[in-house]
């Protein structure tokens, strides 16, 4: 596809040899509305160069500019040059590339095979996979797809919470009140009840906390009974988690959780000692971070047991040695900001120059209307329940609106689950929000089902046309403003993907495909497509095909299916 911004910088460069092409490119803007042109160039910066008022400079450049065949006209507005690209040239270039590249439109080799790790989801073993896990899961999966689409070798890691004192608590609870048959029949709810009971009992009997610490210490020391129980809890939990991952069509390259690094932590601590950054404080080992404006990082407790930070440092070292990552991305809630700042600083102080390649991608918290979620108090909403309810509601809507739809169950799954995922990815990831059933199950307006339905509508038109779409269409038949708005959204899409990757923000794609769907539906409403005029029909079908491809790619990058019938 023609890079019109680059071509424009070439043209401007001949009139402004005092600036480099990179400088000119950086100065070119996209006006806030199309009436002001397709591109704008501000001349304020040139006042010192030409020793003239910016508005006069703009007029001089406009008068003497050699436009070339791709610029329709140039207008001045004060200190701005506004450029209008030749519509026929623009449409032919953009739609022609989509017809050529199809499902690879917007993809890139910019990643050049560099290894990028995306760690996401990471639920705690023996605890519910609840609505609080949805953001890390769908954001992480989307980032994985975006990086891969741009040519990076992307590796997904589910850093399971399968270590720590909570396992001591669970072992104590199971040994005192547990039943093997109940756990096997209904693993997570049963283990959750035991975990809640432990905390209720521990309020009256604090000695249970000491007992749980002893069992965790046994687990660290590879005690046979502790290890066997821990392995069983992990196995039944993964079976439960995988049921949800299968619903989302998410797979991981590695399930190496916290326990995987238990034998790697002593070496990490040794490296800290060699770097001379460990200090004793009340019998514990710490790294003093006061000069960096942070509290001390507690590396090892008085009893010799380790903490999250120790494991995360050991994990980062292992990943660098194993994958030689270009980026090591952690999709973890914003409440862990300090934790990531601390361990990254410790890694830097250990002498590792790749510390800055470890990137924390934070997101806002999900709470319930009755307050913050709490596993200890049993105040959670199971993620599987959310998806099942969304699918059930979708079935009701489809039966009402499309009673004869083939493959109802498949489409209901794609639309219902897609609706929940799309909502999670439609807002800036850093925003907190309160989970509300009505909002999750509302499919009206700017939603996933709206985009999916627009895709299905485009597929339906192409099926009814019964002809193959070719790049020999007449672009001059598509130069009206409504059609042009669709083409502009399609043209912007490759850059939207790159912006989403650069900011680690999938909502940029979500917002864009909503805008494209809205623009296409205006086009569909205003312009009959399957008309008798063959040339006009071919031209409009090219727009339909290109829209379908971009919506499909956009949904794919969000981890959402694009049904062809709804």
Q: Burial of 239 by CB count in 10 Å (0-12 exposed, 13-18 middle, 19+ buried)?
A: exposed
Reduced 3-state DSSP string for 71-105: EEEEEEECCEEEEEECHHHHHHHHHHHHHHHHHHC
Q: How far is it, in rounded angstroms, from Cα 544 to Cα 539? A: 9
| Angle subtended at Cα 527 by Cα 526 and Cα 533, rounded to the nearest 5 degrees | 160
Pairing of strands 278-281, 284-287: antiparallel
- C-beta neighbour count of 100 within 10 angstroms: 11
Instruction: List Cα–Cα distances, 564 to 175, 415, 463, in angstroms.
Output: 53, 11, 10
Distance in angstroms (rounded) separating the CA atoms of residues 562 and 103: 12
Check 87, 92, 130, 455 and give the catalytic one.
Answer: 130
User: Distance (Å, rounded) from C-alpha 361 to C-alpha 119?
Assistant: 10
To the query of whether residue 130 is one of the catalytic residues in this protein, the response is yes
* Whether 302 contacts 283, CB under 8 Å: yes
Residue 112 neighbours by CB distance under 10 Å: 11
- Single out the catalytic residue among 92, 133, 344, 455: 133
DSSP conformation class of 34: G
- Compute the distance between CA of residue 565 and CA of residue 460 in angstroms, rounded to an integer: 7
What is the DSSP secondary structure assignment for residue 334, as one 8-state letter? G
Q: What is the DSSP letter of 427?
A: S
- The one catalytic residue in 92, 127, 393, 538 is 127
Tell me whether residue 159 is one of the annotated catalytic residues. Answer: no
Answer yes or no: 133 catalytic: yes
* Contact yes or no for 269/299 (Cβ under 8 A): yes
490-495's contacts with Cβ under 8 Å and 24+ in sequence apart are: 490/94, 490/95, 490/98, 490/516, 490/546, 490/547, 490/550, 491/1, 491/90, 491/94, 493/105, 493/106, 493/550, 493/553, 493/554, 494/1, 494/105, 494/106, 494/108
| Integer Cα distance of 218 and 226 in angstroms | 6
Give the active site residues.
127, 130, 133
């Amino acid at each position: 596809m023609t890079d019109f911004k680059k071509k424009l910088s070439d043209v401007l460069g001949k009139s402004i040899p005092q600036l480099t092409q990179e400088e000119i490119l950086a100065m070119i803007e996209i006006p806030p509305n199309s009436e002001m042109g397709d591109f704008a160039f501000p001349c304020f910066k040139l006042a010192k160069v030409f020793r003239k008022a910016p508005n006069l400079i703009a007029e001089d450049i406009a008068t003497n500019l050699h436009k070339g065949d791709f610029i329709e006209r140039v207008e001045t507005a004060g200190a701005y040059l506004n450029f209008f690209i030749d519509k026929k040239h623009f449409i032919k270039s953009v739609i022609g590339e989509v017809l050529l590249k199809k499902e690879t439109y917007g993809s890139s080799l910019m990643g050049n095979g560099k290894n990028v790790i995306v760690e996401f989801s990471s639920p705690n073993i023996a605890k519910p996979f609840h609505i609080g896990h949805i953001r890390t899961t769908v954001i992480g999966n989307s980032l994985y797809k975006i990086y891969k689409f741009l040519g990076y070798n992307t590796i997904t890691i589910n850093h399971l919470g399968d270590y720590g004192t909570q396992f001591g608590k669970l072992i104590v609870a199971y040994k005192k009140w547990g039943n093997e048959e109940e756990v096997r029949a209904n693993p997570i709810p049963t283990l959750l009840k035991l975990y809640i009971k432990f905390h209720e009992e521990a309020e009256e009997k604090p000695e249970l906390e000491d007992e749980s610490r002893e069992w965790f210490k046994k687990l660290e020391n590879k005690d046979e009974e502790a290890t066997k129980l821990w392995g069983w809890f992990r196995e039944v939990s993964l079976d439960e988690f995988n049921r949800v991952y299968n619903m989302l069509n998410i797979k991981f390259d590695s399930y190496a959780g916290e326990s995987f690094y238990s034998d790697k932590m002593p070496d990490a601590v040794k490296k800290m000692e060699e770097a001379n950054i460990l200090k004793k404080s009340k019998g514990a080992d710490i790294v003093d971070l006061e000069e960096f404006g942070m509290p001390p990082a507690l590396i090892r407790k008085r009893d010799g047991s380790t903490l999250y930070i120790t494991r995360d440092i050991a994990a980062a070292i292992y990943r660098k040695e194993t994958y030689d990552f270009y980026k090591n991305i952690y999709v973890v809630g914003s409440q862990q900001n300090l934790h990531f700042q601390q361990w990254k600083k410790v890694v830097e102080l250990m002498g590792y120059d790749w510390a800055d390649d470890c990137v924390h991608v934070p997101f806002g918290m999900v709470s319930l209307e009755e307050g913050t979620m709490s596993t200890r108090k049993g105040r959670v909403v199971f993620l599987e329940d959310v998806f099942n309810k969304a699918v059930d509601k979708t079935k009701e809507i489809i039966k009402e609106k499309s009673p004869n739809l083939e493959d109802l169950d498949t489409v209901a799954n794609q639309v219902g689950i897609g609706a929940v995922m799309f909502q999670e990815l439609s807002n800036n990831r850093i925003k907190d929000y309160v989970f509300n059933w009505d909002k999750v199950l509302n499919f009206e307006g700017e939603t996933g089902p709206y985009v999916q339905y627009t895709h299905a509508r485009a597929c339906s038109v192409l099926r009814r046309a019964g002809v193959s779409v070719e790049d020999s269409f007449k672009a001059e038949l598509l130069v009206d403003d409504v059609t042009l708005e669709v083409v502009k959204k399609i043209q912007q899409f490759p850059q939207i993907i790159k912006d989403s990757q650069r900011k680690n923000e999938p909502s940029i794609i979500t917002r864009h495909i909503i805008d494209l769907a809205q623009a296409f539906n205006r086009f569909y409403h205003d312009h009959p497509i399957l008309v008798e005029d063959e040339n006009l029909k071919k031209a409009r079908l090219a727009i339909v095909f290109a829209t379908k491809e971009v919506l499909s790619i956009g949904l794919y990058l969000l981890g959402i299916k694009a049904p062809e019938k709804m």
